[in-house]
Structure formats: structure tokens, C-alpha cells
Structure 1
């Protein structure tokens, strides 16, 4: 029987569909996009797409008519508004080392962005290879990968996205733990983190019905699915080194997973994300009789720059199969002094005796980096059964700067320290930190301990550049203690730390210590500022000092000055005049206030001798935590409170205690080890803290001047105030009282302080508030300040230089160095448990906006009033402001101020629009209209009408947008 025509047509259609399908599908296994920048000051990038394809039963090439590289900039006029380009067909390269049916291809495109911004670069192509078991319909699922780049200059120069050294195709056996590491590194030295995500089929669109590889669906017995058969299988990625662990695969098949590698840079005290690379990879699991090989890797190490590293990595296999050892790291790709390993290329070698990989690296100063280099080591076995298993291990190598070396140090005029050191060994170091403490500390750093460790009692004096303006090395420094002079009687010791530039960063080992002779005692020397009684009204502080021994004119008379805060002159008052060496300051608020003291000495003729250094009380803070209380304390004193061999004491007692003697000693602390912190969990007597009990504490600090003088040898003991709290306090403090009335910005005063329209003056806002009344005041530790640009905006907390939320301990705050006055503030109280209370009502400041346009201009090319501009004092191109009365000669009170945007339209007398203008980009808010139409035609003399939509920078949304209407006389005739 002859087939019917309809049947023939049907079969032909099926064949055509199959042919078309096989020409555009079933081939993409894995891939990623990497990006390289042309230069720091360029917006030209090279974008590389790398994919791995399936070649079994298909000869489809990478790229084609529906394969889109999207640059993430929303389209470009040069591409007729299209968001990207079509990637041309690209030849596959077989990768037999990865297994049968696997090839790779790549495509690189040069693209220049029109401006800085955040761009998500993506590639999409139909389709994934058939048979991926952990998603539905992979053969009909588009393959999608993306990479994010940020070109904001705020982050510094970022020339490279992470590079991934290990291919995204790997194999494993059922029942045997599987490992993978992408071998990622960043050529700019940025830090990397790793995060598992779900594979995409389009932007922000996951594949259909994705399942993690350890989903119960893939196991006959899920509860014993791990390699040891004693627990459920696990699947995760190490967020720090990127190692993926699947313990262990269940069903055989091809699995696809995805993860992102984020790059981070420490900018202005915070870790900030610079972008990411999204890798889509494939895992091929087979049923095989094989055991995983293993690596014997050296211990992680830290070495000084200049050290030669020679190590041997060993590879073993339980089945004695041949193995291949590979190494991946950025250090193998350095243009100079790159690390090497052999054999390279890696070859299979017997595992009995253990296979070897020889590693060699001559480190240099250029290799110094804050983070360790990762050397990813991979071992692959070759089983007679045809299967293979791999094991990854990561070896960390950190290269640090050598310690700076001292030349000498000495006193200058008994007031300053002259410090000198050798020219630093590493020429690429950027700056030198100078650290100081009172009294010696015999600290020696451990092998991997760089920089100045905390809790050693050193204070950062200054950070200076390694080279001056003429590129000469800087090897000296004079310490004047910020102009106050070094404290009399103290023995000062110094250390140095070299700092290397970002983004690689890094710091040296801390130098040895160099100490000065004791500073002569030419002024009174305070030895004690100790809280004797804690009260809001009847508190007592004992202040002691010794007489100036190296100054003539005794006996001396002393005047005692007190101020609020750790340092400074806030509310400074003279509280006593005495000939003695001790003073008890009484009837003051020692519970809530911090005080500092200084002693002024006069000789027997009443003439001023000198003033002591400032010394504060010890301030103790208590933070309630669940079933425990954490204590921290601090003081600003001219002696050291962190002295080897001297321990601080913690006392505890019951509610109502006001005197240190009312409390009992519970522990002594070596604060050089612990720092000025202690957590009480009842460990001193084994009795847990009671959440219903209020506990009171006082800390006794122990300090020294490091002096050889018998009167200053110490130690000196000083008590903090007594502080009381309960453990586990979960109740937030009360809302701060309504902010105090504040003076709004006086616009006449602001304008009067301007010398010209173009100069700037310091802008700051001072906000004040009241402490909550009653019991709400007792537990407040500090306040947070929230700010919003507008009254109806989102309020966000202010942060300090380190990126942490600002902690304000006073009831006022001065927000300084602002671009404008406009802003609204709210305050919250935070208690010692870390509980944050309700935000206060808002207090707002606003700007003094102004915008005025003239009513005549003469575009006749006489260099006077040739353009129509808002009032200003600018030097307008083509205008001669000194010889004609153009708008730039007007009073500064009429100049444009606090203007964000201007949309300007001009109409002729019949109401037809003849010109329009919108500020932004290179267009200014001043308009500078030259009297031509929007099409560039000169307009005739006459009266024209305008409408200007002006957007001001104001906190009040109702005042932000204003419409200014008027007329202007355009005169072309010469006067």
C-alpha cells in the first residue's frame, strides 16, 4: 500500500522539526562570564563567555541566531536600542581530559560603557543538554549565566572579576563523597566569598523544579545516604574557600548546580561588594567500583616577603591506581616571580610509592597581601574500570611584610619624641603606623600575627606616608602628643607597622619596641582619679598627684580643674586650690557622668609653672545578655592600665551598693590577654546568675608610668563607678523625649557668611534631646542617630568610620561636613543588653533655596549678557563680566542656591514652544540659553514667556518642586 500524501507530509514535518531541534538544542553543560577592564580610568571592558558543551549525538556549535550577550546597560543607540549582541557561532574544542562527550568554547567581546554604574552582564542560549536529572525538561531549558560589575570610582580601581581556574565539569561515583573547588582567585587582590544558588533559565528566573543533588528523590535509603552509611547525605559550599562537598551522591546521572563568587574590598572601614561571577556547572555521577584518592598537603604557612618556599605534595590512592596531581592558583600566573610546580603539565603517575608534586616559590615584597593565597590542589585517579574520582584540598600561603627596623629614639626638649627608623625593606609599602604606650611590653608576634594586636595597651599615634612629595623615603617622625607634649614622669615606648596599599592590602610584623628615657617631672603628675562613691548627687572622686620635681620655685600651690568627658574642656571648672597632693571632689554625679581632671601648679610667687596631663575616671559599662552580664571599661589617662604582671580586679555586690567596699572580689584579670572586658556567668562560685536579681559591679584598674622615680613606680589603683543591671534584660528602653526646640537655619545669616556665591562654608546640624524620665534613664548605654533627607523618607542610622552604627553617649550630636542643611533626624536609646527602643519624633532642618531669572538679555555677540542665565557669580564662557552688567554682577543674595534640577521651556507670544532645556549631565542648572530655538535657529528680538520647573534640595517635600513663570526681553540690536 502506498503511503497517503497526508502521512508523507506529516513525516516530513516531524523530520524537519527534529532537524531544527537538533540544530539549536541539547548541548550546553556549564559556563561562566569573566570580565577584564582595559585600565582604571577607562570604561572599556573585555567580556569573555566560556562554556562547556555536550558533543554526544550532536554537532551544535556555541553561539548562533538566538544566543544573546546582554551588556546590562539597557540598550545602546548604536545597537538600535538593543540590550546586547548575538554571539556568532564558535568552534568547540574537545576536552578528553574531562571525559567523553565534553568540549569547550569561548567568545570575547570588547565593549565600552557610556558611564559608571552597576551592570549585570548575561548570556542566554537555547538549550541545556538533555537528561539533567535535578531539573525538569533540561533539553527545553535555556542556559543562562551572568556576572555583575560595579564601576563606581568610590570603590577604587577594579580591573578584573574573579578568575576560575578549575573547569566546571566534574565526575563522581555513587556512594562516595564528591568534592569540587573552582580554584577562583582575584587578580586585583580582592577577597572572595562563595554562595550556592539555583541555576537560572533567564534573568531572575530559576529552572523548573530544581532539586538539590542530595534531595531524597535520588536515594533508595536517604537516612544512610552519606559515605559512611550512618547519616543523611549533605550538599554545601564553604563560603570562605569555595570547596563544594556532596557526601555522598545517590543516583547516577548528570546534575547541574550554580554558585556565585562575590568579590569584596575594604573601603572606608567597611567590606563592600564589587560584583560577582555566577558559575553554572555540571556533575556527572556514575555507578562505579572505585575509592577516592587523597592528598597529603603541607600545613598552612605565613612567610616574610623574600622567603623561598619548597614543598612536596603527596598523592595516594586506596586502590593503588595511577593518579594525577594538579595545582591551581593565581601565584602560578604572576608575570614576575611566579610559583612553579612539577610535573607540569600534570601526568598520571603511580600512587605506590606516593605520587609527588614539587612546589617552588621565591616570594617578594610584591606578593604581600592581607589575605592568604589559595593553592587549590586536585588529585584524580584512573581506575581500570574506566571511572575516576577526585579529591580537592586547599593550601594557604600568606606573605607578610618584614618588621620595620629602628635606628634610634630620644626626647626632644623634654616634650616630644624624635623617632628614626631604617628605610623600609619593601619599596611597595604605602604607609607606616606609629604606635605608642606608656611603660614597656615585651611582646613578640607569632608566625602569622601581623600588625598591632589588640589588648597590648598601644595607641595609634599617626599614620604617615612612606614617601614624601618628592618621592623620597620618610624615615623619621616627631611625636608631640597632638601638640600637648608628652606627659611628665612617663616612660614612652614605640613600635612600627608597615601598611601595604589596597586592594591587596597587608601589613608587616610589628617592629621591636624602642623606649625613651623618663620624661622629666616639670609639672604635677596625676596618679589617681578614683571613684570613691557612686551617686547621681553625692558622688565622690579622689584625685592624687605628685609635685613637679624638675621645676624650680617650690613649695607649690595647685589648682584642680574638672571637665566632663574622657578628655577635653566641656564645662571645665576650677574645683579646688590647695597646697596638698590629694583632693576629694564631692557632691557630683558619678553614676552617669565621666569626668577628667588636670592640675595647674604655681610657684611660691604665684607664677604658673605648668599643667599636668589630663586624666579621666574609669568608666564601666554593663551589657545584659542571656544568663550573663558583660562588663567593659575604659579610661583616658597618662599612665598605662595594661601592664605586664598587673591584674585588674572585678567586684560584685547587691543592688543599692554605693561604695567599692560594699562589693566582693570575684576575679582578677590579665588584661593584656583578655582586654578590658569580662563576662560574668557566675563562674567564680559556680552559681548561675538569676535573671530576677540585680547585680552591681565595680572594676579596679591597676596602672604604671614605667618610671624609675620612687613616687611614680606604682602600681596605681583606681576604681570605676558602680554599675548595676540584670542578666537577660529583653525590655527595650523608653522612647527619648521630644527633641528640644532648636533654631532653624537662619538664611540671612547663611548668605551673610558667604563671601561669594561660589564659595562654601562649613555646614552642620546640631540636634538635642532629653533623656527619658524615671526608670527609663537607668539602663541606657548610648543613643543612635537616624537621618533621612526628607521628613517622609526612610530613616537610616549613622555609622562611624569603621562602618559600625554610631554610638552617642551625650544628649546632643553635631552632624558635620554636610553638603546641605536639609535633613531630618530621629533618636533611639539602646540599653546595656543591646535592646533598642522606639525612635523619637523627628526633628528637621531645611535649606535656604533660591532661584531667580533675569528679564532681559542681548545675544548679539558683544560678550555682555549674551546668554540667559540664572543669577550667579560664575565666569561664563564668552562673557566679559568685568565690563558689562550681566547677571554675574548681581548680589550674592540673588544667586541660585540648593537647586537640584531645572526644566525650562520658552514660548513665543502666540503660545508656541520655541525652546526647551533640562539640566543634568553636562547641562547646568543655570540654563545659559543663547537665544536660539531648540532646532538651533536664531530667534527674533521680542518678548518671550518662560516656565521653569525647579526642584530644590529641601527636607520638606511640599517645598521641593516650584514653578517659576515670567517673561524675558530678547534684544539682538547693539546698544
Structure 2
């Protein structure tokens, strides 16, 4: 009977081994087939090595309880190279409720020749995809993988493949590598990625640069191995994650095999356009070409003596358009030399194609070696695969107009009805002054244009009233459209529409003439009022100054002036922004008040070799107008040139209100030199008949280059600890209550490559031996001193280092590391104690001071070796003579084994074993 069982076991193992001979790759996807119910179709596609056994039944688990189903295989035929059979497993299942489900497929039959898995024939094949059932998601299905993983690779050649993931609902997709698995949460045995640094599978790229690389593009899903170095079969696995509204709602798992061969053949090279966009309603056209190559660019010895014919195809592309509107790929009918292929893609887009995510067109070029080529020991078809991304944008809203109403200081916007389906919201943006912006592939209204969002309305609306506006300002508007989910999407911005609300008179200048914190000055100017308003009246003005644009918060600084300009002095123009406005009087009666206008503010950011400037203002006119887009940059060097010189100009339509001073090739900016700047801005009301350009200077602002040069590391010393020892017994005499301290001193060092502007020091410490700063923690920061006392210590063992810090926070490298051990560890127990309750010697405690001991583990046995007492904890023990059950032990001789744990520099020295005896007397 025993012999029979052994035979049965051996036979079963041999069957298992045979069955593990055919699965190269597989993936699992899910499709909802019921609009109201929870019924889904689960699809598993496997790719089998035809040299193995035929397809077996597989098990699909539905991710809850023990729900699973055994499914029969359906053959879909062979791949072009006849080496792989495609098998389909399909079933439907009704899930019990909403929730997240991990649906998986398991089969014993992974093929046994995988290079990057140990004992692959003994590892099963397991894939697991996750999806979310939620009524809010509607008829959501997982992404579908359109491209089979059957493209072969050759050593030294870059390998690229894409799964062609397509999501019918237009959800966002991302890609990530994972480990191949043999069952749920269990990776295959000793899995390694193809670029494992401990293996020789990847050495250099196709262009001969090093190191080689294996990766998956998280955005496109391109798997790129650049480049295999050894032939073999390599399995890799990845997830396609599905996202909606920033939430992951599912993941599709594919486990695939890359077959690498060493044969004399080079892959073709595929050429595709740059990623692009197209406005819905237009026709996309683009050329695609491929050419077989006969020599690697970097390795002249790697040649293919024969040019093979090449096929060119689009293997994946958008399928959302209505029938007849899907992209079409047409091969060229022109006569081409052998080894070349050309084609073009054409797509007649419409509004249904608009979505947030770009579409991916995936093209493939394959060579076709002649089967009778003697230099090929097998017919190895090599290919190149590339992904082209095309984003379909909504057309810009049309017909926008802006109509001002001076009676209530409002502007009414009107635009044509937006007709694209799924249009959900119209977003309305506004700015002061015009800005010439012609969007190409950028949807919405980008920040650099200076527009700010003021409202949003339903996409069916065609008008909007903007109220409570300032007079004397030219307001410009743009709108764009966003589309509903799950596809989402945005339109291009509309053309600009502007409207001016007239005022009686206008501020035109608030220019800083002198920068000072006590005696600064500002020139303020304004226009005269309309002649009809003040006809036959005596015109005077009152000027106000404030720290904000609230006309009620200002103070009157000039009255009854007839001039339209004056200079305000005695100000802190170095630190303060000022606002000005004016009121006009006719025969002493106030008639009108201008809008408030501020001085130009400037911010400076020192960098390592450059100084960055940006400026801003709060004025009724625009300083970022396309009428006068040039602003001027002035600079002076303190101590070298006390005069401001014009060094550059800025086109604010290209760079915004920003400038980077990089110096020049002949005169780069220098360390420790103070550079001062002021900006001359140009502005306009963007309304004909008013003065322009409006010129205003900013205050001066100064800076030096960012100091990135650290001080030199100091030289550190540690005062060693000296043990206190009885000269007769040579035993420690330290006080057990002593709190220890370590005294550090140091000296600064200098060098050509470091600065001397030290402002303080950081102290680093570890209670154990340290080799670098990473082994220590910072315990203190001190100023410009050269001594530090580390006190309140339980022991003196430890490692120290310090760094120097300058005014800019630059920290030096660490000093030399100094360390010391506890030089006189000591622990001793007495040989007798008397636990009789007389208050004298009633408990067992160590003799003298247990110097630098931190914990003990004590075991006490009687003379027969029986454990009568155990203790672990504080070094003082304080054993009262009771046994492990709390019963008084009789007077006798007992034996102890004590493990003492000391504070030591090296953890390996911390433990000491002490054995002895003790007399318990009552």
C-alpha cells in the first residue's frame, strides 16, 4: 500500500510538471452588461506556448466569499509567428452589491523556461484585476487591452510594446509595474525585473550608452526595455489603473512574456509626428513611416546583411466617434524601395470626441525576414511600436461682445449659443486692459494672461452682467467651456471682448522718485476733467493718500491745488506701498473722484548666480498691456557705480512681469556685491483719447547673490572622562547619583573653497559609535562660541561632531568625529543579605556604585539547580528573599547568574555575564 502511494505521488508530480508548460501571458478585464443590474462579463485572455500542452480549464474567482467558477477555454487561433495560441475564457456573473471587487484567474500552467523566475515550472499563473461597482459610475467597464503581448525582442535592440489600453468612458489611465504572482498576494519565486543590477540581463542601451533601462511610461503605458543583453524568456507584469475625478476606480492586470533571441536581424525604425491637439470638427491628418535598418548607429559591427520588407499598421486608436467617424489608417500605394513603408492617419473629429484625456494612437512596424535566410536560426520578426497622443479640444465660444452701461457701472457680455453636446459650464474671466493671446493646444484661460475668473454659468446661457465695476477702467473678458463626465474636456478660450466705462478724470502717474525709509518721494499726476463738466467754474483738486484702495481710509495731503501733478515727500518708499486718488472741485463743490492707484511693488529673489525680480501694481490702468509691452530694467552696483544704468528690457507679453538678471558673459554677477534695481513700467487705459504710455518707476530694491558656499568644518576636541578610583582597592569611588557631562571645544578652519562668515554651530551626537552625520542626531545649535557642555547624561560614552553655519544657513561638512567609551564600567553583588525585616540589609542591592550599568537580568538557583527567583529590570534589583511564588526562601547558599547591560560605545560590548553565590540569612 505504501509503495502504491509513493507511485501515485510521483505520478501526480509528473502531471503537475507537464501541465506547467504553456502560459506565456494573460490579462483580465471586466465589462458591465446590465444598465440596471450588477451583471458583468469577465474576460480572461491567455497566450500559450504552442509547444506545451493544450489549454486547460481555468478558475475565475469573483473577489467575495468563495464565489468562483471553472471556465472552459475557447481558442482564438495562432499569432502570426505560429508560436503562440490565443485562448479566451469568458463568463458572466452577477455581483451581490456595490463595492470594490478583486476578480482573479488562477491556473497551474506557467511555462517552465522563464529566465527571471526561479523554478518557473513550479509556479502557477495568477492575475488579479480590481474594479469598483458604484451606481454613480453608470455603465462603467474596465479598460480593454487591444494589443496582444507577442512582439519579440533581440539582444542589443530597444524593445517597445504597449497594451493599447482603451477606456470606453474616457476615464484617465495610468500604468505601473508590479510583481508576477503565483497566487493571491504571493509573488512567484525570487522574481527579478529585467534590469536587476545583480543580473547580466541589461547592460547598455541600443545607442550604447549605459546603464540600460527597463521601465513603463506611467502616462502612455509604453513598456521599454533598452536593451536586452541575454536571450531568454522574461515575464513582467503591470497594472492599468483607471481614474475618475482623481479617484482610482479600477485596475487591470496583465502578466506578459518578452522573448529575447540572439539572431542576426535588426528591428525597423518607426517615425511618427509629435504629440498634438485638434479642435473638434476638424480633420486630423498625419504621415507615418517606417524603415528597416541594417546597422546599429553606435555599433558598426552589429549589422544585418539583408534589408527586409516592412509592414506598417495602426494597432490601436480612438473608437468613440460614431460609425464612419473612427480614425482611418491608409497605407501608401506608391512604389517604395524594399524595407520602407509609408502611410497616413485621417480622423474626422466631432464634438462627441472631446475629452480631458488625450487619445493614444499606437503604430507598429514589423519586418518580415525571408524564411530561407541562412543567417537566421529561426524566423524572428522584430518590430518597433510608438504611441502618438492627440487631444481633442472643444471649439472656442463664438460671438462674444461686451457692452458697458455707465449709468450703473456694469458691463453686459453676450455670446452665441454653444452647440456641442455635453457642454456643462461656461467659465467667465476678466482682466484690466487687453492681452493678446492666441491659444493653440492650451484650453481654458492660462494664468500668465493675467485674467482672473469672476463667474461661471450654465452652458445653455448666452449672457452675463458684470456689476459694481470701477469707472475709468478698460475691462476685457474671455470665456471657455467645460464638459461633463466621465470624459470631461475643455474648450479653447474665446476671443477677447473689451469695454471701457468712462470717468470724469483719471489718475496717470504714481511714480517713485526717491527710495528711502524716511525721506522717499513719489510723483503723482492726473488728467483734467471733461471741459463740459467744469465749464465756467474755478477748478481745484484735493489729493488723498492711503495704505489701501479704500477711499474712506485715506488722508487728505493736498487741497485747493490747480495743478495736475505734485511730489509727495518724507515717505517710507523703501518698505511701504502707497495709494493715491484725487477729487475735483468746481467753485468749491466736489464733482467727482478718481479711482485709487498704487505705487509699483517689487519683489527680489536672490539665486546662486542670478537675481530674480517680479513687480506688480494695483491701478485702474493696466501695466501688462499689449499696447506698450516693454518694461525697462535699471541696475546699479553699490560701491562700484552709484548711478542706475539701463541694463535690459522685458516684453511682458512673453515673460510676464518678471526678469532674471544673469549678468553677462563679460560681466557675470559677483558674490558679496550689492545690486540695486528699479523698474520703469509702461501702462495704458487701453482707451483712445487718454494719455499713454503711462510711465511709472518702482522703488529701488537691493540684493546680493544667494550665498551657497558653506564654511569650512571646525576641528573638534572632547575632554576625556577620568574615572575616580580608590588607590588601595582600585575600585570606582564615583557617586551613584552623579549626573555625567561631556565637554566639547573646537577651532575654526579656513580654506580657499569655503567661507569664513560663521554665525553659529550645530552639535551632533550619538550614544554609540558613529561613522557619519547620518548616524547622529542634532542635539543643539549655538552661536559664535567655541565650547559646548553636554550634561544631564547617564553615561559618557558617545560620538560627537559639529558643523559651522553661516548667515545664509549654509552648513559646513561635519568636523572630525570624536568619541569615547565609558572607561570604568563596574557592577558587583554582595555575598550575603539578611531579609529579616530589621531594616538593615533586608534586600539584595549592588555594592558601591554600579557604574554605567543600565539594566540587569538576574537568575537565582538553589544548590540543586532549580530556579527560585528571576528578575529583569532596574540595576538596583532590591530582591527581598522571596521565591518566584512570593514565598520566603529559607536561609541557605544560592547561586546567581546575572547579565549586566552597560552603556557602551559599541553595542557588542554592552552585555557582561557575572556568576557567583550569595548567602541568604534570616
TM-score computed with the length of structure 1 as normaliser:
0.62
Distance 1:833 1:632, change over 3 A: farther
13, 16, 39: which one pairs with 1:17? Answer: 13
Match of 1:702 in 2: 682
The residue correspondences of 1:391-402 to structure 2 (distance < 5 A) are 391-402=384-395
Q: Would you tell me which structure has more strand in proportion to its own residues?
A: 2
Return the alpha-carbon distance in structure 2 between the equivalents of residues 61 and 215 of structure 1: 33
The residue correspondences of 1:829-868 to structure 2 (distance < 5 A) are none
> Alignment length, in residue pairs?
687
Q: Which runs of 5+ in 2 are unaligned?
A: 294-305, 372-378, 711-806, 811-922
Kept in 2, the 8 Å contact 1:556–1:601? The answer is: yes
Q: Which runs of 5+ in 1 are unaligned?
A: 76-81, 468-473, 732-831, 836-975
1:177 pairs with 2:177 = no
Match of 1:973 in 2: none
382, 389, 392: which one pairs with 2:368? Answer: 382
- C-alpha displacement at 1:138, in angstroms? 2.0
SS in 1 for 2:225: strand
Return the alpha-carbon distance in structure 2 between the equivalents of residues 650 and 353 of structure 1: 58
Return the alpha-carbon distance in structure 2 between the equivalents of residues 720 and 158 of structure 1: 61
SS in 2 for 1:57: coil
58, 63, 77: which one pairs with 1:63? Answer: 58
Return the alpha-carbon distance in structure 1 between the equivalents of residues 508 and 139 of structure 2: 52
Distance 1:459 1:381, change over 3 A: same
1:452 pairs with 2:445 = yes
The residue correspondences of 1:788-937 to structure 2 (distance < 5 A) are none
Distance 1:249 1:419, change over 3 A: same
Match of 2:650 in 1: 669
Kept in 2, the 8 Å contact 1:47–1:108? The answer is: yes
Return the alpha-carbon distance in structure 2 between the equivalents of residues 655 and 120 of structure 1: 69
- C-alpha displacement at 1:166, in angstroms? 1.1
Kept in 2, the 8 Å contact 1:649–1:665? The answer is: yes
Kept in 2, the 8 Å contact 1:309–1:360? The answer is: yes
- C-alpha displacement at 1:463, in angstroms? 3.1
- C-alpha displacement at 1:131, in angstroms? 1.5
Return the alpha-carbon distance in structure 1 between the equivalents of residues 518 and 242 of structure 2: 55
SS in 2 for 1:406: coil
The residue correspondences of 1:619-768 to structure 2 (distance < 5 A) are 619-644=601-626, 645-653=628-636, 663-683=644-664, 686-690=667-671, 692-710=672-690, 712-720=691-699, 722-724=701-703, 726-728=705-707
153, 158, 166: which one pairs with 2:147? Answer: 166
When the two chains are superposed, the root-mean-square deviation of aligned CA atoms in Å is 4.2
Kept in 1, the 8 Å contact 2:158–2:227? The answer is: yes
1:306 pairs with 2:281 = yes
1:317 pairs with 2:292 = yes
- C-alpha displacement at 1:46, in angstroms? 5.4
Distance 1:296 1:444, change over 3 A: same
Distance 1:230 1:143, change over 3 A: same
- C-alpha displacement at 1:672, in angstroms? 0.5
Return the alpha-carbon distance in structure 1 between the equivalents of residues 668 and 344 of structure 2: 57
1:331 pairs with 2:318 = yes
1:289 pairs with 2:260 = no
The residue correspondences of 1:923-962 to structure 2 (distance < 5 A) are none
Kept in 2, the 8 Å contact 1:622–1:725? The answer is: no
- C-alpha displacement at 1:532, in angstroms? 4.1
Distance 1:369 1:124, change over 3 A: same
SS in 2 for 1:88: strand
Distance 1:677 1:44, change over 3 A: farther
- C-alpha displacement at 1:671, in angstroms? 1.0
SS in 2 for 1:426: coil
Match of 1:373 in 2: 359
SS in 1 for 2:14: helix
The residue correspondences of 1:436-515 to structure 2 (distance < 5 A) are 436-446=430-440, 448-467=441-460, 474-480=461-467, 483=468, 485-488=469-472, 490-515=473-498
Match of 2:219 in 1: 240
Kept in 1, the 8 Å contact 2:401–2:498? The answer is: no
- C-alpha displacement at 1:402, in angstroms? 2.9
Kept in 2, the 8 Å contact 1:340–1:361? The answer is: yes
Match of 1:419 in 2: 413
Return the alpha-carbon distance in structure 1 between the equivalents of residues 516 and 419 of structure 2: 56
- C-alpha displacement at 1:533, in angstroms? 4.5
Return the alpha-carbon distance in structure 1 between the equivalents of residues 702 and 250 of structure 2: 47
Match of 1:191 in 2: 172
Of structures 1 and 2, the larger Rg is shown by 2
Return the alpha-carbon distance in structure 2 between the equivalents of residues 678 and 213 of structure 1: 47
Match of 2:424 in 1: 430
- C-alpha displacement at 1:634, in angstroms? 2.2
Moved more, 326-335 or 665-674: 326-335
- C-alpha displacement at 1:614, in angstroms? 3.4
Kept in 2, the 8 Å contact 1:297–1:313? The answer is: yes
- C-alpha displacement at 1:306, in angstroms? 1.6
The residue correspondences of 1:139-154 to structure 2 (distance < 5 A) are 139-149=121-131
Deviations 1:580-609, CA, capped at 9 Å, x for gaps: 4346555555445544444444543434x3
Distance 1:834 1:134, change over 3 A: farther
Return the alpha-carbon distance in structure 1 between the equivalents of residues 77 and 457 of structure 2: 53
Match of 2:802 in 1: none
Match of 1:34 in 2: 29
Return the alpha-carbon distance in structure 1 between the equivalents of residues 122 and 601 of structure 2: 68
- C-alpha displacement at 1:719, in angstroms? 1.0
Kept in 2, the 8 Å contact 1:49–1:108? The answer is: no
Distance 1:573 1:217, change over 3 A: closer
Return the alpha-carbon distance in structure 1 between the equivalents of residues 579 and 488 of structure 2: 38
SS in 1 for 2:117: coil
- C-alpha displacement at 1:206, in angstroms? 4.0
Match of 1:735 in 2: none
Moved more, 165-174 or 99-108: 99-108
Distance 1:282 1:689, change over 3 A: farther
SS in 1 for 2:338: coil
Distance 1:43 1:351, change over 3 A: farther
Distance 1:683 1:429, change over 3 A: farther
Return the alpha-carbon distance in structure 2 between the equivalents of residues 41 and 703 of structure 1: 61
Return the alpha-carbon distance in structure 1 between the equivalents of residues 248 and 574 of structure 2: 43
- C-alpha displacement at 1:55, in angstroms? 4.9
112, 118, 142: which one pairs with 1:130? Answer: 112
- C-alpha displacement at 1:246, in angstroms? 2.0
Kept in 2, the 8 Å contact 1:561–1:574? The answer is: yes
Distance 1:52 1:452, change over 3 A: same
Return the alpha-carbon distance in structure 2 between the equivalents of residues 217 and 663 of structure 1: 62
- C-alpha displacement at 1:38, in angstroms? 7.1
